[in-house]
Chain A
Amino acid sequence: MRDSRWFRWLTTGWGDRAFRIYFVAYLLYVLFPLAVLVLYAFHSTEYQTWPMKGLTLQWFRELLDDSKLLLALKNSILIGLATMFFSTLIGGGLAYGLVRYTFRGKAFLETLNILCIITYGVVSAVSVLLWFRMLGIHGGIWPTIVGHTTFIMPFAVMVIRDRLLNFDREIEEAAMDLGASRLRTFWDVTLPLIMPSVMAAGLFCFTISLGEFLLGFFLIGNKVTLPVYIYSLMRFTFTPAINAAAVLIIFFPTLALIVIAIFFRREVESLY
């Protein structure tokens, strides 16, 4: 009995096992709300009670008939794509400048960049709203793109900068010693090397923009983005159509995450 495998299992290794059990419990806690969200999208009554009554696809049909929601989805994707494009383009520029050159105001820009990320919140959104109002700009798609690009671009800077810091500059110098111009070197050597981080940054920016609520709420004017539309549904009604919309939104980040997990593990780590 004392020599049995069970006994050994029971009496040894509890330190590590406790950690593992705790971690699994935490993992379940983290994923549980998302599972609930998806589950209730198929609930056959409109009350979100437990246990569930039955299953239906009715809410998805309702969703597809909701022209306002489709419009919101379209706006969100448009804003997300534009934010992705501008953030990686100009964020990449800033990252390149910060890593490769020394110039006046460099420390200031670095501070501004990180400050922009960590102080993001309702204050950022309303301040931009005030500023736009002062300039006579009314809400809409473009103001939202400007807002999103400003506050999401710093993430792209972080990701691309990390990559630039960690690659072998001698390759670049070799190209220039062999007679390539700076531009040529950048195009043929640097860019291909940092491309994975640029793509990962683009994916991050798109995902963040798609789910961003505060800036969208204040800058979109009389149009809607997806999170803003969901918010308005939540405030006044309580329909599982929200869950159906949620499934659509969760789908993308999860997909993006799988892509990231497979191709861009390194880039994720540069975020922390």
Chain B
Amino acid sequence: MTHQEKEGRTETMEEGTKKLPLWRERLSEQAIPLLVVFPASLMLILFFLAPMFVALHFSLLSNVPFFDITPYYTLENYVRVLIEPIYRNAFIRTGIYAIIATVISLLVSYPVAYYLSRKTKRGGLFLLILLIPFWTSIILRVFSWKIILGSSGILNYYLKWIGLIDTPITFLYTSTGVIFGLVYTYTPYMILPLYATLGKVPNELIEASLDQGANRLQTLVRITFPLTRSGTISAVILVLLASFGDVLSAQLLGGANNLVISTVIFETFMAGSNWTVGSALSVIVFSALLVLAAIFARMGKEAEYA
């Protein structure tokens, strides 16, 4: 129904029920939306938006205001974060891990999403099965990889059994371990949008392309990829966002030598020391997340108009 039709309908309705006094009409038109939207808006503003400004505030203080020493405003925390190698390295590492994990999960997920949306009629059901791990706690998924990747774990056992290696490979507490964890945890974020966007590609276009003599690869590259571009970028950004915020993969599979920025923030706050530096790190990470989210929103709009 178009917007205009809706307007027309309410007008005729008002004529029919003129007994209602104007103030009640006003009340139901303006008070009800306010009333139903208010609690949720309050939650989002008070506990999602406000905390970000609190973090910004803390990041500019010389020390946390919970003790006797009165804090003053300073940029010291940001300078520290940019200068000290532990933070700088963590930032660089985070970027590298996130990008590698995203690329791998794109390569892994695209054929899966393609199969689910175009090659089978039971895509919806299969998708639900794929989502089982997504619903189980992230901590268990990471823990399970810890068991599998251990030096006397299952993966090493079978690698030895088929004769690929003689001595066990150390996966745990290396960057490989982290990437294993990230890819496993976040491929569902990749598959869902890809599945949705691939499902929208009209069959006629693909058939037309094949009829005109293009082979399957050409059709994929020149028809399917361009048509799913914004959906794919959205998927990539979702995985990047998630990998940026991930604490557990890096902490439990990567160990102390593979600190990423989220783990650093986590441990800063857990130890209860240096909350101001932790806030500065949080503000930087959140800004990066906002940039990614903005691109995501843009891609969503593009996909709508396509």
Cβ–Cβ contact A211 & B44, under 8 A: no
Contact among B40, B115, B148, B289 with A157 in the assembled complex (CB-CB below 8 Å): B40
A19 contacts across to B, CB distance below 8 A: 111, 114-115, 119
A29 CA to B111 CA, complexed, in Å: 14
B257: Cβ under 8 A from any A Cβ: no
Residue-wise, chain A 153-170 has the 8 Å CB interface mask toward B (1 for contact) of 110010000000000010
A256 contacts across to B, CB distance below 8 A: 135
Contact among A32, A48, A93, A154 with B36 in the assembled complex (CB-CB below 8 Å): A93
A residues 45-62 near B (Cβ < 8 Å) are 47-51
A265: Cβ under 8 A from any B Cβ: yes
**Interface window among B75-83, B201-209, B222-230, B277-285:** B277-285
B138 contacts across to A, CB distance below 8 A: 211, 213
A7: Cβ under 8 A from any B Cβ: no
Cβ–Cβ contact B195 & A101, under 8 A: no
Contact among B51, B115, B137 with A249 in the assembled complex (CB-CB below 8 Å): B137
Q: A23-B115, A118-B293 are in contact. Are A177 and B13 (CB under 8 A)?
A: yes
Cβ–Cβ contact B282 & A123, under 8 A: yes
A202: Cβ under 8 A from any B Cβ: no
Cβ–Cβ contact B244 & A91, under 8 A: no
A75: Cβ under 8 A from any B Cβ: no
Residue-wise, chain A 173-196 has the 8 Å CB interface mask toward B (1 for contact) of 100110000100000000000000
Contact among A15, A122, A211 with B247 in the assembled complex (CB-CB below 8 Å): A122
B residues 96-117 near A (Cβ < 8 Å) are 108, 111-112, 114-116
Cβ–Cβ contact B40 & A37, under 8 A: no
A residues 122-155 near B (Cβ < 8 Å) are 122-124, 126-131, 133-134, 146-147, 149-151, 153-154
Q: Across the two chains, which residue of chain A brings its CB closest to B244?
A: A121
Residue-wise, chain B 17-30 has the 8 Å CB interface mask toward A (1 for contact) of 00000000000101
Cβ–Cβ contact A249 & B147, under 8 A: no
Cβ–Cβ contact A109 & B47, under 8 A: no
Of B48, B187, B296, chain A has the most CB atoms within 10 Å of the CB of B48
A100 CA to B35 CA, complexed, in Å: 13
B71: Cβ under 8 A from any A Cβ: no
Residue-wise, chain A 100-126 has the 8 Å CB interface mask toward B (1 for contact) of 110101000101111110111111101
A79: Cβ under 8 A from any B Cβ: no
A140 CA to B68 CA, complexed, in Å: 25
Cβ–Cβ contact B141 & A33, under 8 A: yes
Cβ–Cβ contact B34 & A90, under 8 A: no
Q: Across the two chains, which residue of chain A brings its CB closest to B197?
A: A272
A177 CA to B261 CA, complexed, in Å: 58
User: What's the nearest-Cβ distance from chain A to residue B34, in Å?
Assistant: 7
Cβ–Cβ contact B58 & A253, under 8 A: no
Q: Across the two chains, which residue of chain B brings its CB closest to A261?
A: B128
A residues 212-228 near B (Cβ < 8 Å) are 212-214, 217-218, 226-227
A20 CA to B121 CA, complexed, in Å: 13
A53 CA to B270 CA, complexed, in Å: 38
Cβ–Cβ contact B44 & A112, under 8 A: yes
B39 contacts across to A, CB distance below 8 A: 89-90, 93-94
A171: Cβ under 8 A from any B Cβ: no
A40: Cβ under 8 A from any B Cβ: yes
Cβ–Cβ contact A36 & B144, under 8 A: yes
Of B33, B139, B282, chain A has the most CB atoms within 10 Å of the CB of B139
Given A19-B119, A22-B111, A123-B245, 5 other A-B contacts at CB below 8 A? A49-B153, A93-B40, A115-B293, A214-B247, A261-B128
14 A-B contact pairs sorted by A residue (CB < 8 Å): A49-B152, A115-B290, A115-B293, A122-B245, A130-B51, A149-B43, A218-B269, A230-B139, A254-B132, A254-B135, A257-B128, A260-B128, A265-B124, A268-B128
- What residues of chain A have their CB less than 8 Å away from a CB belonging to chain B? 15-16, 19-20, 22-23, 26-27, 29-34, 36-37, 40, 47-51, 89-91, 93-94, 96-98, 100-101, 103, 105, 109, 111-116, 118-124, 126-131, 133-134, 146-147, 149-151, 153-154, 157, 169, 173, 176-177, 182, 207-208, 210-214, 217-218, 226-227, 230-231, 234, 242, 246, 249-250, 253-254, 256-257, 260-261, 265, 268-269, 271-272
